[in-house]
A and B are shown apart, each in its own frame.
Chain A
């Protein structure tokens, strides 16, 4: 059970990585078609839901972690920030408002890296 939860949690995290890489390519000046951006956004939808649900499931499944551990609450906070920034980027792209999109993307990237730091170091666990 634990192995499958962890595997699917990791696959979800890698889907977040796909979104970050595609948007980074765009931020570096690549021109992509709508299909690629659609794929990147759906990867965030599935990966975001997967990391959150499976992550909480893992925390509840393992005796040594508690849902209210600081690193888990911090990760949920960073997840909310990253998802909010992503939604804002999508909204702005849809109306052709390009200002601050790159900044928001890089902030989301930092939030994802912060999530990975919390998952690996688990401060306070």
Chain B
């Protein structure tokens, strides 16, 4: 199993590389947003969500589909549980990202609205925890 996990066909490498790069951008930008919102820098928080978190999610999710297609995982019946969990974490994350972006944008434009800032901060915290779960699932591939 260890050997199987470590060796893969060469043509899976590019989508895997793009997938990890997108996920790293996503998580890094989420951490930046958390720091910015915690120190009440709403402008930086909003820009990081818009130019870091959202593109990171798109790259991560798009390349997840790409590599799943290469590996034929979507054609397997039943779909492996680690793939299912990955989708179950990634897809609702987009909704949370969009809500956090709207909350931060509104709070930034009003220059007040601590409730919106705190809401966005909680959502970003949930997204960071979800990211750790996704990384665990992708690395351990539980069946």
Q: Do A and B bind each other?
A: yes
Which A residues are within 8 Å of any B CB, using their own CB?
A: 2-4, 6-7, 10-11, 13-14, 17-22, 25, 30-33, 35-36, 39, 43, 62-65, 113, 116-117, 120-121
Q: B111-143, CB under 8 A of A: which get 1 and which 0? A: 000000000000000000001100110111100
Instruction: Give chain B residues whose Cβ lies under 8 Å from the Cβ of A117.
Output: 17
User: Binding site of B, secondary structure by majority: helix, strand, loop or mixed?
Assistant: helix
B35 within 8 A of A: yes
Which residue numbers of B lie inside 8 Å of A, CB to CB?
2-3, 5-7, 10, 13, 16-17, 20-21, 23-25, 27-29, 31-32, 35-36, 38-39, 41, 44, 47-48, 52, 131-132, 135-136, 138-141
Specify which chain A residues have a CB less than 8 angstroms from the CB of B13 in the assembled complex: 120-121
In this complex, the member of A7, A17, A117, A121 whose beta carbon has the largest number of chain B beta carbons within 10 angstroms is A17
Q: How far is the CB of A34 from chain B (nearest CB, A)?
A: 9
Checking B2, B32, B35, B135 against A14 with a beta-carbon cut-off of 8 angstroms, the contacting residue is: B135
Residues on A with C-beta less than 8 A from B131 are 14
Q: A2-B5, A6-B140, A10-B139 are in contact. Are A32 and B24 (CB under 8 A)?
A: no
Interface pair B35/A20, CB less than 8 Å apart: no
Write out the residue numbers on chain A whose beta carbons fall within 8 Å of the beta carbon of B5: 2, 6
Say whether B47 contacts A30, CB under 8 Å.
yes
- Given the known interface contacts A14-B135, A33-B41, the answer about A116 and B140 at a Cβ–Cβ threshold of 8 Å is no
Measured in the bound complex, the distance between the Cα atoms of B5 and A4 in whole Å is: 13
Assembled-state Cα–Cα distance A5/B137 (Å): 13
Closest to A117 in B: B17
Docked pose: A31 CA to B28 CA in angstroms: 17
What is the minimal beta-carbon distance from B8 to any residue of chain A, in angstroms? 9
A36 touches B132 (CB 8 A): no
A22 contact set on B, CB distance < 8 A: 28, 31-32, 35
Contact of A31 among B10, B44, B139 (CB under 8 A): B44
Q: Closest residue of chain B to A58, judged by CB?
A: B6
Q: Please state if B39 and A35 are interface contacts (CB–CB under 8 Å).
A: yes
A39-B31 in contact (CB<8A):
yes
* Residue from B31, B38, B39, B138 within 8 A of A21 (CB atoms): B31
5 extra interchain contacts, Cβ-Cβ under 8 A, other than A7-B135, A21-B29, A22-B32?
Answer: A4-B140, A7-B136, A18-B31, A25-B48, A64-B3
Q: How far is the CA of A10 from the CA of B136 in the complex (A)?
A: 9
